[in-house]
A and B are shown apart, each in its own frame.
Chain A
């Protein structure tokens, strides 16, 4: 059918629009040229070496990694607890609480960042790594709640009730029945939180203490002059981490679940 072919071509073009720029960054990371753009002057790994020798970037990378991991830890922990309450218990005002838990998403990040800073200023507290950590956690929390909640609804209560009737106490039931069943969702939520933190720039620019850079703010600072080829190499590394890790995790999860059955 002719119309269908048109739709196909259109969709293909939109996909191209979404991926061509990313592909270009991946390609230019290996360009031997002095400059960050075209033309391509041959294959080289020297920008990766330069990247590895750039202390500022390595430091920013370390900051981003620890920030991401700790953010994932905090937001997943409190997010899972909140999701359990929402799915497993009946109580008054549930709809309101659900909206309340999602509310950090509804506030524009720029506004959230300024608000937290002003509150901090009133408390006469300086900006710190801790501020970035709690700030990123609150930004990630709604996404963790949404992901975990969606999964939790699908876990039958009967398993938990069976464990209880066999004599397990609520804590035992949670750690031996609910949590193992919930693990994929916990993992997905944690990965999501890590990526949100690792990628955040809007709020981070406001919250970082003087002299501290995360990878995105470091790149942002480097853009002031022109695109150095190191940024392309850094882009390559970041894409491999943020895309590679979840895809690998998904693959591993599938591998292990296949092994069990």
Chain B
């Protein structure tokens, strides 16, 4: 016990490189975003040190920004709910199956993580585009003479997001289903529950932590994106992240870019904080175990 009273510097030596890197590349930059949001933009890429609320006022009064926040929220919810609906059953199937090569199903689930994000996203143009597989089949069947337009709209963006984020959802649900005592469902059945009741009242509630962790990941990842709408969406399909991209890369308006970035950080941070208040942060790291 005497040892624990003394300060042991050794773990701090080991932690120092990582902590310094995070301080320099995360903590300090995040404070700079806040400071810069009060600066004044004068011209392309030129700004002036100031303490004024012009950028924040613009954000609060211009309905263009409100539309973007609303669109982002709506799309993130749609993608999260659809991913949960699509993902729960395969996760349940993998967890419960007695199939000998279950590892193969799991490997296939992890495999998409290794396939390039941009390739997976653009591949939807090959499926739903004018020269895509669906139109090819429709025209070959003679159901239509001209290609049916399915691309570059909100639907395509949603499909692209779900395709990329679904494995996160399935993996998280699977991890929590796998942790449930497999005698519980049969026990409920013996006590007279129907299979559906046993699932609804025993398995489903016990798998909620995984469902919540998966939903949080999908929601936050969708809410922070901007590349998918650029590739699969039309001109009207933009997320809040696209406004940041436009402000920084196209308009070179750094103070506005900072203001928008800080807003996105706070909005998504609130979602994470709410989640960690309700569920704690442990479930999130389980999928890596």
Contact = CB atoms under 8 A, between A and B. Distances in A.
B26 interface: yes
A137 B22 CA distance: 10
A238 B224 contact: no
A78 B120 contact: no
Interface residues of B, number: 83
Interface string B71-110: 0000000000000001101101110000000000000100
B54 interface: no
Interface in A120-165: 121-122, 134-135, 137-138, 141, 143, 145-147, 150
A58 interface: no
B272 A106 contact: yes
A235 B225 CA distance: 22
Interface in B114-160: 114-120, 122-127, 129-133, 135-136
A19 B87 CA distance: 14
Contacts of B272: 106
Given A25-B126, A216-B116, A235-B119, A19 B32 contact: no
A169 to B, nearest CB: 13
B28 interface: yes
A81 B241 CA distance: 34
- By DSSP majority rule, is chain A's interface helix, strand, loop, or mixed? helix
Given A146-B285, A242-B114, A11 B10 contact: no
A134 to B, nearest CB: 6
A160 B7 CA distance: 22
Contacts of B127: 20-21, 24
A37 interface: yes
Nearest to B86: A14
Contacts of B89: 7, 10-11, 14
B205 interface: no
B176 interface: no
Nearest to A244: B114
Contacts of B22: 100-101, 103-104, 138, 141
Among B14, B36, B170, B285, max chain A CB count under 10 A is at B14
B85 to A, nearest CB: 10
A114 B115 contact: no
A85 B30 CA distance: 26
Interface in A221-261: 223, 227, 231-232, 235, 238-239, 242-243, 246
B167 to A, nearest CB: 7
B44 interface: no
Given A78-B18, A112-B29, A201-B227, A147 B288 contact: yes
B4 interface: yes
Contacts of A117: 248
B18 A81 contact: yes
Contact of A17 (B15, B115, B163): B163
A179 interface: no
A14 B25 CA distance: 38
19 contacts: A18-B167, A25-B122, A37-B131, A86-B15, A91-B11, A97-B15, A104-B26, A106-B272, A111-B33, A112-B25, A114-B248, A118-B254, A119-B29, A138-B26, A143-B288, A146-B285, A235-B119, A238-B115, A242-B114
Given A14-B90, A18-B167, A199-B118, 16 more contacts: A11-B93, A18-B112, A36-B126, A36-B131, A77-B17, A81-B14, A97-B19, A111-B224, A112-B29, A115-B32, A119-B29, A138-B25, A143-B288, A145-B18, A216-B117, A235-B123
6 shortest A-B CB distances, which residue pairs? A37-B131, A108-B224, A115-B29, A21-B123, A85-B14, A85-B11
Interface of B: 4, 8, 10-12, 14-15, 17-19, 21-22, 25-26, 28-30, 32-33, 36, 86-87, 89-90, 92-94, 108, 111-120, 122-127, 129-133, 135-136, 163, 166-167, 170, 195, 220, 223-227, 230-231, 241, 244-245, 248-249, 254, 257-258, 261-262, 264-265, 268-269, 272, 281, 285, 288-289
